[in-house]
């Protein structure tokens, strides 16, 4: 973090969502790729470790990753991969390994074994892959391998997670006829599917997304030099800090033209009373401390990773905030509705649960000891409260290593400047 002019210039890590997509595309490419500003954190490391076990040549030097694109899909030996706590990694690897001739077992830590995978497993089976749960149907661990024949069209539910769809999209160029994906029901986190389209196109494949249908042409990924954008989800925390405590911050290198839907979080803060602008340095948000924060009503189904941040900011607003459209986040790293509400109530927050979100009303806050529930986003959001409320203790704060290992050091420097 550096300081320039009247505000803080904050560098957030590269997007782990973009990085993991780029790593899959690079592994499937026929030539070498260099991925710059590759995200730190446990999720990305789990992906890199797994790709190495699969035989992909990967060299990492700080935030630059060189990928050889040497994945051998004809190998017949059995492999075991550990995605640890990374949902994105586990789902992308499950799809990727369905292309292999040999059987691959994908597993993870105990918390990841509780996260639903059934829609992805069913879709891969419908396509023609062999998918066998080791213990419970629809959960990790799971064994996958290539089947005898691939279909060219599949339907998948998009109400639970966009990661299932993105995993299918990224393997589609290697299928004999490409793939048409029909998304049934409401599409949550649509921006993440659009992100996948953008990354795939950067690696030279042809894909289109319109309405509830996706088309991916057969073809080959091309090795490329790819730069990962700053993580818009991580950016929500310094942005939320300014919304709560006043001042200004510029997120270095982040633009409204981002592939990430979570960049729209700044617009929610603008509705609450903050000022937003963009320059060559990045996106800037500011608020005068004496200017009150207003509550808002918002459907966050497309930027659900920012729900904990907005909920925390909303506690400091003068009028209520209603968050809707996010019932599916109960199956993230934590129950991001129930667990979030339970912890914020320890502080005296006036917060109630709805069927698809929550309502946060003004209340007098006090210190408390908060649990992170193995969820990096809860830990990072809770840290924003400590500036304004004495006696707030965050237990197991190290969970932030999943996406931003030096988060607390960055936040302390930000508040001091």
Residues serving a catalytic function are: 305
Which string of b and e fits 196-229 if b means at least 16 CB within 10 Å?
bbbbbebbbbebebeeeebbbeeeebbbbebbbb
Look-up of token digits 């592994």: 27
Cα separation, 131 vs 123, whole angstroms: 10
Strand order across the beta sheet in which 321-324 lies: 297-299, 321-324, 357-361, 350-354
What SS3 class is residue 358? strand
Closest residue by Cα to residue 53 from 13, 6, 107:
107
Alpha helices in 265-337 (DSSP H): 265-272, 307-314
Cα separation, 12 vs 5, whole angstroms: 19
**Alpha carbon of residue 411 to chain centroid:** 20
- Are 232 and 238 within 8 A, CB to CB? no
Cα separation, 249 vs 411, whole angstroms: 12
DSSP 385-408: TTTTSTTEEESSGGGGGGT-TTHH
Cα separation, 21 vs 278, whole angstroms: 27
Cα separation, 306 vs 177, whole angstroms: 37
**Alpha carbon of residue 293 to chain centroid:** 27
Cα separation, 57 vs 84, whole angstroms: 21
Report the chain's terminal Cα–Cα distance, integer Å.
10
* Residue 157 vs residues 94, 304, 357: alpha-carbon distances, Å: 17, 18, 21
């Amino acid at each position: 973090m550096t300081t320039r002019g009247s505000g803080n210039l904050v560098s957030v890590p590269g997007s782990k969502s973009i990085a993991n997509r780029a790593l899959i595309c690079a592994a499937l490419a026929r030539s070498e790729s260099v991925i710059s500003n590759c995200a730190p954190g446990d999720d990305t490391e789990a992906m890199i470790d797994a790709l190495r076990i699969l035989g992909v040549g990967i060299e990492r030097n700080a935030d630059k990753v060189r990928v050889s694109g040497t994945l051998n899909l004809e190998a017949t030996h059995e492999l075991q991969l550990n995605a640890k706590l990374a949902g994105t990694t586990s789902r992308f690897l499950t799809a990727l390994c369905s292309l292999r001739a040999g059987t691959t077992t994908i597993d993870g830590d105990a918390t990841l074994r509780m996260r639903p995978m059934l829609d992805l497993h069913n879709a891969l089976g419908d396509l023609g892959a062999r998918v066998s749960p080791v213990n419970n149907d629809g959960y990790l661990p799971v064994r996958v391998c290539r089947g005898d024949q691939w279909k060219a069209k599949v339907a998948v539910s998009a109400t639970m997670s966009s990661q299932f769809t993105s995993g299918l999209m990224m393997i589609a160029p290697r299928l004999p006829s490409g793939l048409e994906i029909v998304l049934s029901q409401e599409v949550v986190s649509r921006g993440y599917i659009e992100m996948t389209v953008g990354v795939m196109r950067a690696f030279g494949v042809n894909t289109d997304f319109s309405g509830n249908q996706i088309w991916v042409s057969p073809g080959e990924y091309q090795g490329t030099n790819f730069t990962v954008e700053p993580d818009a989800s991580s950016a929500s925390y310094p942005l939320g800090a300014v919304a709560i405590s006043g001042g200004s911050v510029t997120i270095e290198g982040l633009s409204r033209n981002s592939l990430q839907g979570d960049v729209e979080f700044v617009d929610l803060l603008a509705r609450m009373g903050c000022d937003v602008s963009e320059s060559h340095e990045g996106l800037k948000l500011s608020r005068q401390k004496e200017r009150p924060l207003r509550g808002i009503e918002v459907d966050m189904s497309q930027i659900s990773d920012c729900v904990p941040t907005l909920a925390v900011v909303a506690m400091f607003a003068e009028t209520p905030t209603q968050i809707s459209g996010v019932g599916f986040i109960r199956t993230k790293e934590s129950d991001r509705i129930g667990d979030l509400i339970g912890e914020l109530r320890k502080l005296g927050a006036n917060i109630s649960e709805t069927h698809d979100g929550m309502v946060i009303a003004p209340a007098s806050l006090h210190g408390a000891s908060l649990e992170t529930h193995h969820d990096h986003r809860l830990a990072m959001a809770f840290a924003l409260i400590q500036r304004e409320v004495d006696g707030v203790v965050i237990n197991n704060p190290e969970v932030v290593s999943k996406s931003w290992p030096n988060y607390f050091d960055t936040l302390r420097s930000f508040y001091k400047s």
